[in-house]
Structure 1
Amino acid sequence: IINFNNDFFSWISAVLPEELKAVYKDVKQKPKKDDIGGFIHIEFHSDENEAENFEDFNLLQIKETIAELQEDSFDLKDIAILCRNNKNASLIASDLLENGINVVSSESLLLGNSAKVRFLIAVVKVLLKPADLISKTEMITFLTHSGYIDGDVHNSLIRFGLFKNAEKKINFFEELSQHKIELKRSYLLNLQIYDLFEELIRIFGFNNEVDPYIQFFLDAILSDSGSKNLELSELPDWWEDKKEKLSIIVPEGINAVQVMTIHKSKGLQFPVVIYPFAAEKHRKTNDKLWIDFEDEEVPKLKAAIVNTNRSLEETKYASLYSDEEEKSLLDLINLLYVVMTRPAERLYIFAAQPPKKHTPVQSIPKLFKDYLIAKDLWQEEKNVFTFGVKTEKGFITKENLLKYELAGFISNPWRNRMLLSLRAPEYWDIEEPVGKQHWGNLIHLILSMIKIPEDAEHVIEKLFLDGIIDESEKIEIGEKIKKFLLNPEVGKYFKKGLTIKTEPEILLPSGKTYRPDRLIFDGESATVIDFKTGKPEPGHKEQVMNYKKIIRQMNYLNIVGVLLYLNEEKPVVIVD
């Protein structure tokens, strides 16, 4: 490896512009006398293989190379994969983890790099705010790419009405159900935050395989929803704060491949280095340049900022452009130097196809091709070039680490096994706790939680999830409440836009308190309502009349008293 690098960078020094030749002219390392072996593998992606794109090519070569290295007695911890950016590092780390290969990486194991985690967050955002077009688009894009929805992304977005010029309004959740994706918004929003994510994981089948990103995400949700009282409404802000901080935690001493950026690898050395996605081109370091400006027509303008492009070559600022070009070329070569001087035993480079025709734009694939041409080694039909000899790793030491691998992701809805009554005392007969539910108190509880008819389904679902009612009661009560609220005479007391207080506690000067079921305010007018589940009785009107007297003491001039009977054919009785 040392001999190859010395030869390669000596050649680079000779072909660099005159001003840069000195940088790598005498940069040579001396191998130790007892150093033997050393192997370099340079492989170019073939454009002829249409079935395999550059990304797939790199991911496949990395896995095959790791398998080959393990056969030659190298441990996973001997291998470092160096990437130009975090995007590639994340892609590689995710792919290796999905294939059961341990990975250590500070940049690439961030939970925010997981497409599934980001998708789950998008789903919750849509549940919270159904008008959130960005999160809807993220959802549909993921579902299409993942095969949950057939077709391409563009047509899927049209189908779900996610373009401004959509011909008709689409019910997003109903459209999802057409694709066998059932998201019952009312049900899901009534779940505790951890239970909600577990339910979504089951709905989309993410529990069919072990995904460390999802498991560590659930751990973070469980931790913060318990210790920091994280509420569902706070989740979007929580995620914005945490997505660049939360990561998969890898135990110390684990035998794992290291994935990092080239920048982070400076000063480090590894037995084996893999450099994938080697396609970097000579790019300008700065898109803009400040220049000293002297022009008689604008004497007060002493400096200006200009675009860094070839048009500067025809001006008096040509030297500035030339300097910038040389700096960016040097950055490219410095990057390559860092990569190629990290390995001690083996170096694998997976590069893009070099240009077939001459181009003035320099790139890493072109540098390697030009070097191979200079050494009379280049062959157009050949993609793999190797140097040196493969040797097995010597003096192998392997720690006997206790290792436990999850065979599957275990996730079951606990409500199928357990039913908890969290608010039962509110409607049980307290004198007989094991007796029958008190129907009247239960109906009062439900109606006290409903301000408009649309609330009914949400309220009943919540009581079911809290264990207050069972499945059969949920259906029976739902039908009864729905019929009650659909009555036009009843419905006018549940309209949108009303100023409503449910079960307000009124404190009298004597210290006595009263609590009518419902108060509706409109300026100096007030309507007091009491709900009844039994047959009409004289005492009912007396109770409402007493409420009217109390509210009159609060300086309301026009007060209407109303009795609403849930089980009567004529449910509305005005109390004069």
Structure 2
Amino acid sequence: FSYVSDHFGDSVHEHLYAIGNQQKTTSKSEGFVQVEFINPENKEESHLLYAERVLETISNLTKTNYQPNDICILTRTKKDGIALSTYLITNEIDVVSSETLLLDFSPLIHCLIAGLTVSLFPENEVAKVGLLTFLHDHFNIETAKHEFLKDCLTSRGDAFASKLETYGISIDITSISEKSLYQACEYMIHHFELNRVADAYLFAFMDLVLDFESRPEAGKLNFLEFWETKKASASVPANNQQNAVTVMTIHKSKGLEFPVVIYPYANTKLYAEQQAKAWFPIDDELFDEALINFNSEVENYGPHGEQLFIERRNTLELDNINLLYVTLTRAIEQLYVFSEVPSKLKLENPDDFNQLLIGYLSQQGLWNPDQMVYSFGSAENTANLPSEEKEKPVNQTMAPKYISSTPETHQLVVASTEASLWQTKAEVAINIGNLLHDTMERIRTKDDITMVIEKYREQKLYPEKTLERLERVLQKIVAHPEIEHLFSNQLEYDTIFNERDIVTSKQQLLRPDRLNFFDNQKVSITDYKTGTPNETHQRQVNLYAETLVGMGFEVLDKFLIYSNGDEISVNKI
């Protein structure tokens, strides 16, 4: 890094590294560093060569005194880490990393997600292909995969279940939509026989499902939307005692050390940015600055552009060299660096890591274009160092058994947001009331009812009887003589506000169910409730009215609409 400090564009950064490298060394003479260059013909070959060299290095290390958990592979991007992890796992190298422990990495989880998706959206061919592909491999079906897919793909509903039955898979996909989220997953685990191959991914996923189902109004569709946002981070809790190679990104390695570090893909560009933007001053009556694309052209935008370009370049330079410093200082005993031979050498103005590496070797008089491997120290002496860390006991691990038991076998029914699972009339009425409240948020005029109900049908969220019942209640509301004018097709959409937050002068947050504005200064308030009238409901609506009056509006009407099963009542306050 003393060599690197000479190439900083900012004298402050140069001084920082020049002073920082004036450190005292320890008396230990052992240690080993190897820098190796590969010469791929294209990007695909580079991935393969990096993976092969990493695998060979790990194999050689484990033949000495090093254990797999002494070794850490550092990558610049998560994508590179996943690619290397997949290759190593395929070649029977145990790997532990936050990326490979992602639940989305598991075929079992893909099966459950695909099953939920197909149950809600029978026309989703992508999900159905994914589900059928897994089942073909999981059940070792003798029929060729393409024939199996062709035979089952066009079937729907009961016909789909019958097709699967012919291949020894007994499950009713359509019934999944009538079960709670957790019960639906258990149902698939049982009938797809996932319990016999259950692993840590399945345990962690079911914990996630159970946690999600404890949330209000948590259904299968909401879970699928939640999963799309969570799958990039939801993972199996890591076991630090596992004897496996660690793979992590450089950023996550800060503050950590490992006996052996392997650093592939050492070719990061010093000045590269993804979709770079910058604020640039402009001469405009309304705005002082504009957000522009940041590239080399900015240097030509006058004195300010030139200064902005230089400062940005120096910052990127420092950030990336700091990243290189972190990487190369994680190793305690051995360090392996793998980079690529650049197409053109830029020793005076290096702009990526491999140029810096070659520049250092040139400064030391070591660089030879025909030589790909450069070693410093003795790998054998370092590997044979006496170390308590290398004499680790072998831990015996046991995989827990996944006990799959459907609630029906214990005469249990799991409550869900789907009305078909609620048994008593009172419970059904409550569920219809909650569903009604959520649905009214989507309705501004009476013409919206048909569209919303059809959307529910497409999503397969609720049984047909529930939707028919819901539609009857909705029609009663919009046709009620006291409030039908509030749902008229003649109203403008921008005069109707459903579930809109209001902040009072006392910083209290209020949310009326519905506000109809007339002539910009007049408003009608509507709130939906389940059950019987209550004084607290009136106080709540009156608070809405007081707040709106304080904001300068005239309140025309205040309505409370109560639902109780199929019946509604309208109370004007």
With the shorter chain as reference, the TM-score category is: 0.5 to 0.7
- What displacement does 1:45 show? 3.3
Q: Which residue of 1 aligns with 2:280?
A: 291
Range 29-38 or range 213-222, more displaced: 213-222
1:82 aligns with 2:71: no
Alignment partner of 2:314 out of 326, 329, 333: 326
Residue 279 of structure 1 aligns to a residue whose secondary structure is coil
Q: Which residue of 1 aligns with 2:291?
A: 305
Q: 1:350 to 1:135 in 2, by over 3 A?
A: farther
Residue 346 of structure 1 aligns to a residue whose secondary structure is strand
Q: 1:272 to 1:170 in 2, by over 3 A?
A: same
**Contact 1:276-1:350 within 8 A present in 2 as well:** yes
Q: 1:61 to 1:219 in 2, by over 3 A?
A: farther
1:394 aligns with 2:394: no
Letter in 2 for 1:74: Y
Letter in 1 for 2:367: W
Q: Which residue of 1 aligns with 2:423?
A: none
Unaligned runs of 5+ in 2: 413-463, 471-573
Render the CA deviation track for 1:158-189: whole Å, top value 9, x for unaligned. Answer: x99xxxxxxxx9668999979x8978634766
Question: How many positions carry a matched residue from both structures?
Answer: 399
Residue 277 of structure 1 aligns to a residue whose secondary structure is coil
- What displacement does 1:61 show? 3.2
- What displacement does 1:337 show? 0.7
Bigger CA radius of gyration: 1
1:362 aligns with 2:355: no
Q: Distance in 2 between matches of 1:223 and 1:300?
A: 49
1:67 aligns with 2:59: yes
Render the CA deviation track for 1:357-395: whole Å, top value 9, x for unaligned. Answer: 257782222322333344343344443332221122422
Alignment partner of 2:374 out of 378, 385, 392: 385
- What displacement does 1:64 show? 3.0
1:315 aligns with 2:301: yes
**Contact 2:198-2:402 within 8 A present in 1 as well:** no
- What displacement does 1:235 show? 4.2
1:270 aligns with 2:262: no
- What displacement does 1:241 show? 6.7
- What displacement does 1:129 show? 1.1
Q: 1:384 to 1:188 in 2, by over 3 A?
A: farther
Write out aligned runs for 1:91-490 (5 A). Answer: 91-93=83-85, 96=88, 101-106=93-98, 108-114=100-106, 117-118=109-110, 120-132=112-124, 135=127, 185-186=173-174, 192-198=183-189, 212-214=200-202, 216-218=204-206, 235-237=223-225, 239-240=227-228, 243=231, 246-282=234-270, 283-284=272-273, 287-294=276-283, 298=284, 301-316=287-302, 317-351=305-339, 353-358=340-345, 362-390=351-379, 391-392=382-383, 393-397=385-389, 398-400=391-393, 402-406=395-399
Residue 265 of structure 2 aligns to a residue whose secondary structure is strand
- What displacement does 1:335 show? 0.8
Range 260-269 or range 234-243, more displaced: 234-243
Unaligned runs of 5+ in 1: 1-8, 161-168, 424-494, 502-576
Residue 334 of structure 1 aligns to a residue whose secondary structure is helix
Letter in 2 for 1:267: G
Q: Which residue of 1 aligns with 2:37?
A: 44
Letter in 1 for 2:119: L
- What displacement does 1:40 show? 1.3
Letter in 2 for 1:354: V
Q: Which residue of 1 aligns with 2:495?
A: none
- What displacement does 1:134 show? 6.5
Letter in 2 for 1:338: V
TM-score scaled to structure 1, two decimals?
0.55
Q: 1:172 to 1:348 in 2, by over 3 A?
A: farther
Residue 341 of structure 2 aligns to a residue whose secondary structure is coil
1:35 aligns with 2:32: no
Q: Distance in 2 between matches of 1:321 and 1:144?
A: 56
Q: 1:304 to 1:48 in 2, by over 3 A?
A: closer
Q: Distance in 2 between matches of 1:101 and 1:10?
A: 37
TM-score scaled to structure 2, two decimals?
0.55
Letter in 2 for 1:130: P
Residue 387 of structure 2 aligns to a residue whose secondary structure is coil
Q: Give the share of equivalent positions with the same residue, in percent.
A: 29
Letter in 1 for 2:15: A
The structure with the largest helix share of the pair is 2
**Contact 1:90-1:113 within 8 A present in 2 as well:** no
- What displacement does 1:324 show? 1.1
